[in-house]
Structure 1
Amino acid sequence: MIPHISVLKDEIVNLFDTKLVNTGGTIIDCTLGYGGHTLALLEKYKNIKIIAIDKDIEAINLATKRLEKYKDRLKIINNSFSSGLKEALQTSQDAVGILADIGVSSMQFDNLERGFSFLSNTLDMRMNLDSHFSASEVVNNYSTTELERIFRDFGEIREYKKLARLIVETRKKEKIQSSKILSELIAKNFKNAKLHPATLAFQAIRIEVNNELGELQEMLNICKDSNLQHGSRIGIISFHSLEDRMIKLEFKKWEQSCICPSSVMKCICGNSHKLGNNIYKKPITPNAEELSNNNRARSAKLRAFEFIRN
């Protein structure tokens, strides 16, 4: 098992190294996981408090033990990152930062009972174990059209129709019982020189099961509509192009002062809608040293935004 290593940890700590944070306030960690980012922030910034959110109770139990030393400066919410963020912002009037690392954690991936791995003997992929909707439901009960949709839209798989048909024809003979059986089926019928042939299919199924893109959009909407004070920052780490594209486009919209449609000849919106600025021109990615220590960080991208208030 690969030990859990927080991706872009130093970059996250440096992102929040501002006068606003150093004087105190609360940082909201929307994706607690094993607590690596939260721990690093609590160690670095002695005056802050953190509200941390996770819908995985197993992760919360482990992180609570790891962060015992800082329990007086830490509150943990068991919820999805969008609903948890809304709750955190309602209860905290001094938020100075928001963090989200929206990838699957190493703990989840390495626990074969969770079904995220190609070697798993289950077909689960739920991040929230209280949910009754799993990968088995998608793989064994979705129609051909529904499977085509998720493989096309969430996996960006070129041969999405062939893959959907393959799964439907296979399950007619026998229910697909595990991620291992599914990954072997895909690998036998598809080739990919750069990735395991099942990588994008698993990504698509996982996104569907956990409503990952819907959760991300809701979180972005909550951030946009919040009353975060001047100088507050948000940093989001994503791991695939769909998420990164969504974050990039949303941050770009937040920079715009005029939000009139392009068909309007003269501004009628008041030209006063700018929320702040992108902190990086391009996303921050792991350096060579981090990649040598953690190959799973290879697709990580950090985008960050600073809010301004007049």
Structure 2
Amino acid sequence: MMKELFFQCELFKNNKNFDGIIEVASKILDAALKEALQMEIVQRDYTKVINAVIFVTQRMPGTRYQNTAFSEAYCILGKIFETGVLAEKNIKKAREYYTVAADHSNPFGCYRLAHFYEFGIGCSVNMHKAAHFYKLSANGGCCRGMHRYGLLLLEGRGGCKRDVKGAVFYFEQCRKLASPNYPHMMYDLGICYEQIPQMTKDIIEDKEYALEIYLEGDSLGCPRSSVRLGHAYNFGALGLAQDTKKAIYYYTRAEAMSGEARFELYRIYLAQNNPEEAINWLRKAAILGHPTGLRLYADSLERGIDIPQNKTEALWWYGIAKTRGVKIDKEIKRCAA
């Protein structure tokens, strides 16, 4: 597959098919990213692919503000140097490429530049600039940009005045673009109809609609939606009857990505007097960095509760808990004594 894509990329460059170069280069980058995520190390020389994308930025004729291939080329270069997949990682270059893409009104370029400003990646943190570029990204139709800008409006951050209705508008627009690759707005939209009405009159409470949104989010693989459904069945909320089996089902759907889901599974099995399964889920919750899970698992190791005593390992887990903000100094002192 990759050989064919490399051939097409070179062919499109020779024919000056700029749109073709962008399409094929995007596929190559996506495939390489997938390999990296799956820990598949494949040695390739991507120089010709990168040069073909640069060729688009240098030789694109006509009005570049109206030709998406031009700004997309800068986005691809930004991704290449941000991820370090096709070339050596270079955050400075990535930011420069995203800046040009954003200057040419590319929605994804605006989104990545906003992300850099929000978290101070290759620049100083600047929430006002982050909000500005998130808004441009959102208005350009970028799903992730809509979500992030909606969150800023919901929380009143980045110089944005709190605007719940505005946040819901962007979440609803974002929902139309939801996919298994990016389902995360579903939870935030559901919360707007479930919990936000208790704090503001800007939106009418609708738990039935919130449940519908969470179910859709769960079907797309949104971990937080699955956890919320797990809570609903675990405690009997959102108009649902308490059902431990269904709670376990939804928590299990989210556990690969959610320390909270793993911790709730620990609590369920502990209540069911199943210590072996409970300690297994407690350990898994600690692995994902759940603060209470870290403290309790370290305590179990220190005292030998449902697991062989190991104070050395307990100290290690206590140390991790401390880095997560858990007040654990007394426990560390006691364990080290």
State whether TM-score is above 0.5: no
TM-score when normalising by structure 1: 0.26
Q: Tell which has more relative contact order, 1 or 2 (C-alpha 8 A, sep 6+).
A: 1
Higher Rg of the two aligned structures: 2
Higher fraction of helix: 2
Higher fraction of strand: 1
